[in-house]
């Protein structure tokens, strides 16, 4: 949609569109009440700044909307549609990669107590696996910071897709 259309959506519709980008109420609220935006770049700059304020609890809560890397979302709605598209670089016929991702996801969850989240859009399955293996070596505080950064990248890419003439990239 055009930024002008986003600016004039009823609050509940704007909030629903933003929630499909990331399920963090403070982010959705700030972006909704911050309207109108002059242009997509203004909206994205505000979104990026607000993402920097996310708490660990907000990040953890938002992970519930994301499937494991290598698993297709089973739900419906905009967030599930985003996830299906974003994981398009994974070849569902590659059984070896699927098994390695499954094992890596389990190791990650055992180590950090949450799902492995990574910006999948534009990355191959091998890249996603390499990042997973690399991140398993992080300490918990570093990994939480990386997870927050990845969640912000995902949210900003989704927001860019939402506002069709967005010229600023995440």
Residue ranges of domains in the chain = 3-162
Q: pLDDT at position 64, please?
A: 86
Contact predicate 64/23, CB 8 Å:
yes
Residue 60 tokens read as 């953890």
Decide if 35 contacts 7 (C-beta within 8 A).
yes
What tokens were used for 36? 């109108």
What pLDDT does residue 69 have?
Answer: 84
Tell which CATH classification among 1.10.3330.10, 3.40.50.300, 3.40.109.10, 1.10.1270.20 matches the domain 3-162.
Answer: 1.10.3330.10
User: Could you tell me if 14 and 32 are in contact, meaning their C-beta atoms sit under 8 angstroms apart?
Assistant: yes
Q: Give per-10-residue mean pLDDT for the chain (170 aa).
A: 96 97 97 97 98 97 87 57 53 85 95 95 91 97 97 97 65
Q: Which residues are catalytic?
A: 66
Cβ partners under 8 Å of residue 113, min gap 6: none
- How far apart, in Å, do the first and last CA atoms of the chain sit? 17
Instruction: Give the per-residue pLDDT at 141.
Output: 97
Between helices 95-112 and 125-135, what is the axis angle to 10°? 30
């Amino acid at each position: 949609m055009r930024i002008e259309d986003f600016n004039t959506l009823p609050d509940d519709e704007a909030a629903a569109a933003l929630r499909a980008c990331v399920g963090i109420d403070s982010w959705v609220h700030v972006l909704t009440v911050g309207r109108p935006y002059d242009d997509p770049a203004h909206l994205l700059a505000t979104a990026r700044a607000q993402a920097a304020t996310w708490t660990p609890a907000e990040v953890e809560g938002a992970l519930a909307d994301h499937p494991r890397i290598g698993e297709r979302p089973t739900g419906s709605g905009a967030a599930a549609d985003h996830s299906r598209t974003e994981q398009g670089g994974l070849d569902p016929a590659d059984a070896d990669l699927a098994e390695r991702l499954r094992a890596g996801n389990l190791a990650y969850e055992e180590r950090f107590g949450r799902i492995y989240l990574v910006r999948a859009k534009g990355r191959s399955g091998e890249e996603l696996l390499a990042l997973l293996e690399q991140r398993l070596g992080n300490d918990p505080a570093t990994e939480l910071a990386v997870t927050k950064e990845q969640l912000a990248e995902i949210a900003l890419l989704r927001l860019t897709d939402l506002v069709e003439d967005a010229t600023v990239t995440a």
